[in-house]
Amino acid sequence: MSTVVTDIGELVTNDASTGDGSALGVVHDAAVVVSGGLVEWVGPAASAPAADHRLDVGGRAVVPGFVDSHSHLLFSGDRSGEFSARMTGERYDGGGIATTVAATRASSDDELRASLRALVAEMRRQGTTTVEVKSGYGLTVEDEARSLRLAREVTPETTFLGAHVVPPGAERSAYVDLVAGPMLEACAPWARWVDVFCEPGSAHAFDADESRAVLSAGARAGLGLRVHGNQLTAGPGVRLAVELGAASVDHCTHLTDADVEALAASAPAQERQGTVATLLPGVEFSTRSPYPDARRLLDAGAVVALATDCNPGSCFTSSMPFVIALAVRETGMSPDEALWAATAGGALALRRHDVGRIAPGTRADLTVIDAPTHLHLAYRPGVPLARALDLPDDAVRP
- Give the interface with ligand NIG as residue ranges (CB under 6 A): 72, 94, 96-97, 100, 197, 228, 231, 283, 309, 311-314
Residue type, 309: D
Residue 318 binds which one of Fe ion, ligand NIG, none, with CB within 5 to 8 A depending on kind?
none
Q: Is 311 known to sit in a ligand binding site?
A: yes
Residue 97 binds which one of Fe ion, ligand NIG, none, with CB within 5 to 8 A depending on kind?
ligand NIG
> Helix (H, G, I), strand (E, B), or coil: what is residue 194?
strand
Please identify the residue of the shown chain whose CB is closest to the bound ligand NIG: 313
Dump the DSSP string for 352-382: -SSSSS-STTSB--EEEESSSSTTHHHHSTT
Distance between CA 157 and CA 155 in Å, rounded?
5
SS (H, E, C) 236-265: CHHHHHHHHCCCEEEECCCCCHHHHHHHHH
Q: Is 108 known to sit in a ligand binding site?
A: no
Residue 160 binds which one of ligand NIG, Fe ion, none, with CB within 5 to 8 A depending on kind?
none
Biggest alpha carbon–alpha carbon distance for the chain: 66
Provide, rounded to whole angstroms, the least separation between the CB of residue 171 and ligand NIG. 21
Residue 356 binds which one of ligand NIG, Fe ion, none, with CB within 5 to 8 A depending on kind?
none
Distance between CA 179 and CA 217 in Å, rounded?
9
Dump the DSSP string for 22-78: STT-EEEEEEEEEETTEEEEEEEGGGPPP-SEEEE-TT-EEEEPEEE--B-----S-
> Near Fe ion by CB under 5 A, which window of 113-121, 253-261, 307-315, 383-391?
307-315
Contact 14, 344 (CB under 8 A): yes
Task: List all residues 6 or more positions away from 362 whose beta carbon is below 8 Å from its beta carbon.
Answer: 38, 39, 64, 353, 354, 355
Contact 147, 111 (CB under 8 A): no
Q: Is 313 known to sit in a ligand binding site?
A: yes
Provide, rounded to whole angstroms, the least separation between the CB of residue 283 and Fe ion. 8
Please identify the residue of the shown chain whose CB is closest to the bound Fe ion: 309
Q: Is 334 known to sit in a ligand binding site?
A: no
Q: Is 126 known to sit in a ligand binding site?
A: no
Residue 176 binds which one of Fe ion, ligand NIG, none, with CB within 5 to 8 A depending on kind?
none
What is the per-residue burial (b if ≥16 Cβ within 10 Å, else e) of 114-126? ebbeebbeebbeb
Q: Is 230 left (phi over 0), alpha (psi -120 to 50) or beta?
A: left
Q: Is 228 known to sit in a ligand binding site?
A: yes
Q: Is 28 known to sit in a ligand binding site?
A: no
Residue 130 or 231: which CB sits closer to ligand NIG? 231
Provide, rounded to whole angstroms, the least separation between the CB of residue 94 and ligand NIG. 5
Environment class of 261 (CB within 10 Å of its CB; exposed 0-12, middle 13-18, buried 19+):
middle
Residue 312 binds which one of Fe ion, ligand NIG, none, with CB within 5 to 8 A depending on kind?
ligand NIG
Residue 289 binds which one of ligand NIG, Fe ion, none, with CB within 5 to 8 A depending on kind?
none
Per rule CB under 5 A, is residue 309 in the interface with Fe ion? yes
Q: Is 70 known to sit in a ligand binding site?
A: yes
Provide, rounded to whole angstroms, the least separation between the CB of residue 158 and Fe ion. 14
> Near Fe ion by CB under 5 A, which window of 25-33, 81-89, 309-317, 355-363?
309-317
Q: Is 314 known to sit in a ligand binding site?
A: yes
Q: Is 231 known to sit in a ligand binding site?
A: yes
Provide, rounded to whole angstroms, the least separation between the CB of residue 72 and ligand NIG. 6
- CA distance between the termini of the chain: 11
Residue 130 binds which one of Fe ion, ligand NIG, none, with CB within 5 to 8 A depending on kind?
none
Q: Are strands 2-12 and 53-56 parallel, antiparallel or unpaired?
A: parallel
Distance between CA 166 and CA 171 in Å, rounded?
8
Q: Which residues are annotated as a binding site for Fe(3+)?
A: 70, 72, 228, 309
The residues binding Fe ion (CB under 5 A) are 309
Known binding-site residues equal 70, 72, 79, 137, 164, 228, 231, 309, 311, 313-314
Tell me the binding residues for 4-imidazolone-5-propanoate.
79, 137, 164, 231, 314
